[in-house]
Amino acid sequence: MSEHHSPIPAKRSSGAVIGTIALLIVGYVVAISLGWIHHADEHHEESASAMPHLWSALPFVALLGAVAILPLIPSAAHWWEHNLNKFYVAVSLALLTLGYVAVLHPAASTDRAWHNFTHTMLGEYVPFIVLLFSLYTISGGIRIAGDLPAHSLTNMTFMLIGGLLASFIGTTGAAMLLIRPLLETNGQRKHVAHTVVFFIFI
């Protein structure tokens, strides 16, 4: 008896992605209409005395360290695999940063902290996520197939084309377009991690 896989989950998944994109776009438009997003030129340059302390970058350094080190520690690797735990770490460090801006910054105020939060979330994060969703949707409909030999010249050609495309469609667009054929081409090789790392760097 053959198994029949229903296409309903795939349709629900694509519907959820489209709904999320639509919700983000509507929220972004509403935020602009209400004046929650401020342009950078609306705020004058701060004086040297109002610059943040050097050690205020520690939460960002801690986040980078968690991303780079925790997957390599056997006792923490399994805990770090769960996206909810990554979310907890990111939110905790973000709250520390907002607390610094509200209390310890040379020009500290809750208004400054709120402005930084709304600008970061509505002016930078939401547009970037919409961009990623759009690139994922567009590149997901493009299929590059072929029987390419899996050797260094092929990988170098992928990286050269990706570097050139990045100048026209952006680094994220080029990566999303070429990462799948690159992985499929090198699917039978044992050591391919370095190839992906160099591809991302380029």
Whether pTM > 0.85 for this model: the answer is no
5-58 confidence digits (pLDDT tens) = 444 554 555 666 677 767 777 777 776 677 665 554 444 445 445 788 888 889
Angle CA 73–98–46, to nearest 5: 120
Residue range 58-82, pLDDT digits in tens: 999 999 888 888 888 888 888 988 8
**Strand extents, DSSP E, the chain:** none
DSSP string, 113-137: HHHHHHIIIIIIIHHHHHHHHHHHH
